[in-house]
Amino acid sequence: MIGMKRTVLTCMVAAGSVLAVAQADYPGATWNPADSTNFTVSNRPTTYPFHYVIIHVTEGSYNGAINWFQNPTSNVSAHYVVRSSDGFVTQMVRGKDIAWHAGNGAVNNRSIGIEHEAITTGSNPTSWFTDAMYRSSADLVRWLTTTYGIPRYHDPNVTPSTDLSTITPGILGHKQVRIGGTACPSVYWDWDLYMDLVTRGANYDSDTMPVFMQPGQEVEVIVRFVNTGEFTWLTGTGNNQVTLRTTPASRVSPFFVPGDWISSSNIAAPSSAVPSQGIGEYRFQWRAPVAPGHYTETMQLYHSATGFMGPELEFDVGVGVVDKVIDNVDPGFSTLGGWSTGTSSVDKYGADYRYSSALQRTPASAEWFVDAPQTGQYEVYAWWPQGANRSPKVRYELVGRRDTFTTLRDQTTGGGQWNLLGRQSFSAGGGFVRVKALTPQGSVVMADAVRIVGPVR
């Protein structure tokens, strides 16, 4: 997680926190505001430009820091607080407003302050600076520097001054800007590692991963990432080599293809060098296991100097002998109640789809007859066109040979793809999937297509 700077003395905190409902600026943070007497309401960057990110340590607990910034007598605050154990981030002051963290009014006006949970005066100060905290903070700083136009640069030679012409814009420690002196964030803060993490980042772009494969089937897969860092990703050896690997580290994948993968846990290098803001393609062969079943595979980019980076991807792949789709125009589909036919949604399956109001005197329902080719347990998927007016609680029923499995799905998201509903045992020549238009008032339920994959283990 991450935190903010303050205006007074060294970085310190108190105890406790109160969760608020509003949304944070940073997508990865929880919003929990500081007391209104501990910061200045402003309208940055109209009032002041953004020049700095200031790094702090709390010299106390994560909850204590939050509580301290919510104490009206403290006269301090920071924009963000980051937890040591897992990197969880809380935002306490809006980016447009001025937190009191730096001990330097001119710097406060032009900076974002981040507090990191640590006690550097104890017997084991380095234990607080966890990999999770460094990586989470670096993700936050990449977002801040992109959003506010702050250089991703650390000048170790900057010293405190009220003359901002002597303070290089970028990412600085509290001790570099505080008038009156402080050791924060201490000699234990690893600036080399931190700046490596800040200047190397990735976002997921797209993939061609199949959701179903025949046992032993081999296909080519492409996974794409955006290089959000400062340096070009290299395809060979060197400090900027970025490959795609299985997670956890060194885990042998059941989809490993000898001779195509770099190793059983190191999948592929990018097809070509990837410049900053470029899209890197990772192409590799993907061979399904011989045993039918449902497999979950996880992978992540790995930087040769700093380790795993960017988002961890999780793929669900069904391996079986049946992959059957029943569309809303197929003989196995039927409806009860008020349903209309639509064609305008671009993320539909096939030529059209059916839709119904989610609130009626007699709830409408739609049904797909599975007609399972053989008795067994199957993965069941649904496809729908998403939209803002879709119901967030759509009830699906998987009617099997012994019971009915019920699950809810949010149709405002997940459009244009197969969404796993669950597993169900169907008898040969039997099985149904039903969707019901129930709640909430004013929303719409979609009935497009379903898919069964299996039998699975």
pTM of the model as a whole: 0.64
Alpha-carbon span 279 to 128, nearest angstrom: 35
d(Cα 316, Cα 400) in Å, to the nearest integer? 22
Q: Which residues of 68-101 are buried (b: 16+ CB within 10 A; e: fewer)?
A: bbbbeebebbbbbbbbbeebbbbbbbbbebbbbb
Tell me the pLDDT tens digit for each residue of 157-180. 999 999 999 999 999 999 999 999
Position 440 scores a pLDDT of 65
Residue 17 has pLDDT above 60, yes or no: no
Question: Which amino acid is present at 236?
Answer: G
pLDDT of residue 360: 56
Half-sphere exposure of 327 (CA within 13 A, CB side): 9
3 state SS of 357: strand
Please give the mean pLDDT across all residues of the chain: 90
How high is the pLDDT of residue 16? 33
Buried b (16+ CB within 10 A) or exposed e, 285-317: bbbbbeebbbbebebbbbbeebbbbbeebebeb
**Any idea which of 5-19, 114-128, 239-253, 345-359 has the lowest mean pLDDT?**
5-19
Rounded distance, CA 441 to CA 425, Å? 33
In terms of C-beta density within 10 A (0-12 exposed, 13-18 middle, 19 or more buried), how is residue 20 classed? middle
- The residue ranking higher by pLDDT, 19 or 457, is 457
- Enumerate domains of the chain plus CATH numbers: 29-198 (3.40.80.10), 202-316 (2.60.40.10), 323-454 (2.60.120.260)
Specify the pLDDT at position 214: 86
Q: How many CA atoms lie within 13 A of 415 on its CB side?
A: 19
Residue 113 in this model has a pLDDT that exceeds 80: yes
- 12 token code pair: 């310190």
Q: Using 50, 70 and 90 to split pLDDT, how confident is the model at 359?
A: low
